[in-house]
């Protein structure tokens, strides 16, 4: 037997908008009963609200803010039950290439080079974890160093090399910063490769990183077309993520039976009007599009 909850909604017509009493002649208080019944099962699990530090320098200035202002901003972003209280932080895996507003450095400028202290994303992830140990961390490449494609600007010709590069970033995050990455993306708003996704999944599993989920493909919903006809690809992907979906999903994405995320989205203005718009988008992403993050 499902749980049934009765919600009483009240509508006061003709009343004043302030704290004072209703105007003379105001309409009577109307009530309505809404029945919520989970007998047919529960909806999709809410996976959180997040923010992106990526696209080349979108948060570059924050690390250089003076105290106490820098810590106050970080508190407003990441402290639970305080300010934005973000559940997820996605960062760019720097690739030495211009990725929108600037360039973020790679952890591997060339094949035999490894340095896990370049850039500021490590610092930002640690500051987020310091304030909320439960926050989920995502890494996503916007660009790749040219050696990945052996001279070509295409990371999928040698999927083993690309997977090695990404897995090295994940291992470096843990070894040098004690950061556990929860999800990894493919290539921001660019083409995806089913073969590469499978190779990446195999590389993660071989190293015991089965807990790290793959998000695909951080663009449109097209990856879902291949997922529903390729069970190996479907098994490799944990989350189908789309950018700016307009609160709507597609039937193929639903058929994958995977988590559906609006993995990059935006509101309007940086004021109270934009905040209301943002809240509406978050609600409609779930109600209209079955998206949970």
Which pair of tokens denotes residue 181? 């990455």
Q: Which of 67, 257, 264, 272 is catalytic?
A: 264
Round to the nearest angstrom and report the end-to-end CA distance of the chain: 29
Distance of alpha carbon 95 from alpha carbon 137, whole angstroms: 18
From the list 92, 127, 189, 257, the catalytic residue is 189
Q: Does the CA dihedral 37-40-41-45 come out positive or negative?
A: negative
Question: What DSSP string runs through 216-283?
Answer: EEEE-STHHHHHTT-HHHHHH-SEEEEES-TT---HHHHHTTSEEEEEE---S-SSHHHHHHHHHHHH
Q: Where are the alpha helices (DSSP H) in the chain?
A: 69-78, 121-131, 159-177, 194-206, 223-227, 231-236, 251-255, 272-289
Distance, in Å, from the CA atom of 176 to the CA atom of 121, rounded to the nearest integer, reads: 13
* CA atoms of 246 and 255, how far apart (whole Å): 19
The residue behind tokens 């080079």 is 113
264 is catalytic: yes
Q: Which long-range contacts (CB under 8 A, 24 or more apart) does 111-119 make?
A: 111/147, 114/168, 114/172, 116/169, 116/172, 116/173, 116/175, 116/176, 116/177, 117/176, 118/94, 119/94
Asked if 239 and 258 touch (Cβ cutoff 8 Å), the reply is yes
User: Which positions ≥6 away from 250 have C-beta within 8 Å?
Assistant: 221, 224
Catalytic residue positions? 189, 264
């Amino acid at each position: 037997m499902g749980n049934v909850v009765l919600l009483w909604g009240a509508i006061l017509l003709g009343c004043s908008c302030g704290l004072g009493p209703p105007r003379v002649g105001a309409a009577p208080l109307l009530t309505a009963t809404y029945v919520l019944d989970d007998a047919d099962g529960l909806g999709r699990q809410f996976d959180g609200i997040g923010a992106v530090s990526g696209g080349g320098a979108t948060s570059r200035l924050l690390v250089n803010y003076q105290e106490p202002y820098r810590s106050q901003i970080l508190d407003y972003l990441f402290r639970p039950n305080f300010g934005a209280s973000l559940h997820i932080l996605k960062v760019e895996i720097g690739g030495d290439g211009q990725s929108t507003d600037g360039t973020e450095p790679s952890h591997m400028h060339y094949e035999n080079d490894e340095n896990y202290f370049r850039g500021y994303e490590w610092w930002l992830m640690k500051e987020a974890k310091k304030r909320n140990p439960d926050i989920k961390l995502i890494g996503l490449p916007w660009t790749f160093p040219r050696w990945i494609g052996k001279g070509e600007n295409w990371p999928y010709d040698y999927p083993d090399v690309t997977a090695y590069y990404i897995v090295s970033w994940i291992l470096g995050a843990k070894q040098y910063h004690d950061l556990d990455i929860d999800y990894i993306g493919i290539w921001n708003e660019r083409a995806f490769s089913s073969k590469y996704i499978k190779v990446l999944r195999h590389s993660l599993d071989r190293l015991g990183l089965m807990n790290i989920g793959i998000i695909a493909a951080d663009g449109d919903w097209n990856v879902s077309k291949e997922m529903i006809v390729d069970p190996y690809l479907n098994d490799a992907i944990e989350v189908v993520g789309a950018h700016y979906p307009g609160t709507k999903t597609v039937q193929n994405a639903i058929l994958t039976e995977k988590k559906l995320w609006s993995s990059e989205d935006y509101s309007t203005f940086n004021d109270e009007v934009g905040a209301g718009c943002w809240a509406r988008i978050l609600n409609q992403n779930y109600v209209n599009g079955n998206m949970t993050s």
